[in-house]
């Protein structure tokens, strides 16, 4: 096990596979190595996040509480993966349009084909502002 640098702590947490792969790719592209670069870039990202969430506030009471529903995001990620594999989307990104038929099929395969289940997940995705209906297509937000 490598020696722990002074003033540092080791952390372990779960991150979406696509996000960490893109983070690693960009970090390597910028630094040409992973040695120390991932820690450095992650620290910078955390500093920016902290600054954004503590700007103009003197106490923690000014920070807006967020209750993430990981299950919804996890299922949406599974839906996107199914769509990429089944229909050959290179990536599913914000403002992309997905045919209603494709989304409903993906929900049916990933979570179950019952009408109530499909309706529930469409509503959940809309509630969490992951998709927006536009007639016969959904826009990814």
Reported as a single tens digit per residue, the pLDDT across 37-78 is 888 899 998 988 888 777 765 555 556 666 556 789 889 999
- Give me the pLDDT at residue 58, please: 53
Structural domain count of the chain? 2
Q: Is residue 45 part of a domain?
A: yes
pTM equals: 0.54
Q: Is residue 117 part of a domain?
A: yes
- Give me the pLDDT at residue 139, please: 95
- What's the CATH number where 127 sits? 1.10.10
3-state secondary structure of 97: strand
In terms of residue numbers, what domain contains 42? 17-62
- Please report, rounded to a whole number, the percentage of residues in the chain having pLDDT higher than 90: 45
3-state secondary structure of 69: coil
String of b and e for 52-74 (b: at least 16 CB within 10 Å)? eeeeeeeeeeeeeeeeeeeeeee
Q: Is residue 11 part of a domain?
A: no
Element (H, E) at 53: helix 37-54
Q: What angle do CA 91, 11, 26 make, to 5 degrees?
A: 35
pLDDT tens digits, 76-130: 999 999 999 999 988 888 999 999 999 999 999 999 999 999 999 999 999 989 9
């Amino acid at each position: 096990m490598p020696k722990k640098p002074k003033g540092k702590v080791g952390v372990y947490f779960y991150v979406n596979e696509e996000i960490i792969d893109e983070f690693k790719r960009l970090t390597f592209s910028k630094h040409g190595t992973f040695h120390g670069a991932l820690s450095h870039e992650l620290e910078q990202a955390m500093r920016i996040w902290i600054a954004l969430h503590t700007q103009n506030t003197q106490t923690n009471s000014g920070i807006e509480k967020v209750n993430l529903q990981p299950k919804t995001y996890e299922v949406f990620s599974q839906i996107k993966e199914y769509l990429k594999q089944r229909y050959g989307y290179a990536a599913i990104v914000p403002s992309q349009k997905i045919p209603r038929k494709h989304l409903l099929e993906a929900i049916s395969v990933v979570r179950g084909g019952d009408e109530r289940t499909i309706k529930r997940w469409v509503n959940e995705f809309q509630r969490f502002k992951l998709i927006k209906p536009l007639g016969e297509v959904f826009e990814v937000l």
